[in-house]
């Protein structure tokens, strides 16, 4: 089973898509990833200001 990390470009796409109220399933389909991968990514990187594709100091 092959596993690859999400790229910074994919994370940025997720952030923009969520701001545009796109569903996780639509984001996953557009990126060619599973919905669970996107769901875990969003859960892991959502803070008080919402999802951020990269954390600020």
Judging by beta carbons within 10 Å of its beta carbon (0-12, 13-18, 19+), is residue 41 exposed, middle or buried?
A: buried
Range of the domain at 46: 20-57
Note the pTM of the prediction, 2 decimals.
Answer: 0.88
Quick check: helix, strand or coil at residue 46?
Answer: strand
What is the bridge-based pairing of β-strands 46-47 and 50-51? antiparallel
**What is the torsional sign of CA 16, 57, 44, 50?**
negative
6: in domain: no
The string of pLDDT tens digits covering residues 24-34 is 999 999 999 99
- Local confidence band at 2 (pLDDT 50, 70, 90 cut-offs): confident
32: in domain: yes
- Local confidence band at 1 (pLDDT 50, 70, 90 cut-offs): low
Looking at the 3D structure of the chain, how many domains does it have?
1
Q: Residue 30 has which token pair?
A: 């557009």
Share of the chain above pLDDT 90, in %: 75
11: in domain: no
pLDDT, mean over the chain: 92
2: in domain: no
Asked whether residue 57 carries a pLDDT value surpassing 70, the answer given is: no
29: in domain: yes
10: in domain: no
Cα–Cα distance, 49 to 1 (Å, whole number): 35
């Amino acid at each position: 089973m092959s596993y690859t990390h999400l790229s910074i470009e994919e994370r940025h796409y997720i952030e923009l898509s969520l701001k545009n109220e796109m569903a996780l399933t639509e984001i996953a389909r557009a990126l060619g990833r599973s919905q669970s991968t996107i769901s875990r990514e969003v859960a892991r990187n959502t803070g008080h200001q919402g999802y951020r594709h990269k954390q600020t100091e």
